[in-house]
Amino acid sequence: MYLWNSHALAAVLLMSAPHAIVSLSCTQFSPSPVPIPQLPDYFSPHHYLDATTLFHTEAIRQTLTLYPYIIDGRAFPSLSSIFATDAVANYSAPLGVLNGLSTIAATLEQALASFPATQHLLGPQTVRICDSKKAISVTYYRAVHLLPQNGTVGPGNILGGDSVLYAYGQYQDTWEKRDGLWKIVYRNLVYMAPLVTGIN
């Protein structure tokens, strides 16, 4: 009788919690993209409570901060500072799943070649250090792509465009520490809205 009552109480408590705190395992984070409502279950605040974690988190944050410099600066060979040689990146349609650093670099270079300029702004970011060799992160981004006008294409021709293409999305990255450096081994680029054009 007492047992039944405590179970009933537990059931009521669970039901009254709007969203019970769950901690999902890092191994579930890839390869499939994580639905946005599940993200809090991977990044609950109790993961951030010691200094070693913060040290690695900052190393990952600084590494990922190179990404806009490399993409917007068309320094594609430097993607090797961020992605492991055998990294796999799902950039969503139309680029799809890219296997290996050289394919990722070549595909991004070609995809961005027609924009006179781009700017990738990184937004909210969470990093979870799973163990001494593995981590996961989510980073919101918004990317502004200047559209070419009058057939003017190629980097550096910033005056060519007064209309722009906006991309809204997030990078869901799985990291491994290799030879002392954190590198992305799996990326899901998840769009959060359709690509939209506007006036700059």
Ligand X SMILES: *[C@@H]1O[C@H](CO)[C@@H](O)[C@H](O)[C@H]1NC(C)=O
Q: Is 138 in the site for ligand X (CB under 6 A)?
A: no
Tell me which stretch binds ligand X (CB under 6 A): 8-16, 28-36, 42-50, 134-142. 28-36
Say whether residue 149 binds ligand X (CB under 6 A): yes
Beta-strand runs (E) in 28-180: 83-90, 97-99, 117-131, 134-146, 163-178
From the list 31, 77, 123, 198, which residue makes contact with ligand X (rule: CB under 6 A)?
A: 31
Contact map string, positions 54 to 83, toward ligand X, x by CB under 6 A: ------------------------------
Rounded to 5 degrees, φ, ψ at 42 are -95, -20
The answer to whether 76 and 175 are in contact (CB under 8 A) is no
For residue 85, which of 181, 172, 169 has the smallest C-alpha distance? 181
Q: How far is the CB of 179 from ligand X (least distance, A)?
A: 28
- Residue in 24, 33, 39, 53 binding ligand X, rule: CB under 6 A: 33
CB-CB contact of 134 with 181 (8 Å): no
| Residue 97 lies near ligand X (rule: CB under 6 A) | yes
Look up tokens 């430097």; give the residue: 78
Name the site residues for ligand X (rule: CB under 6 A).
31-33, 90, 92, 97, 149-150, 188, 190
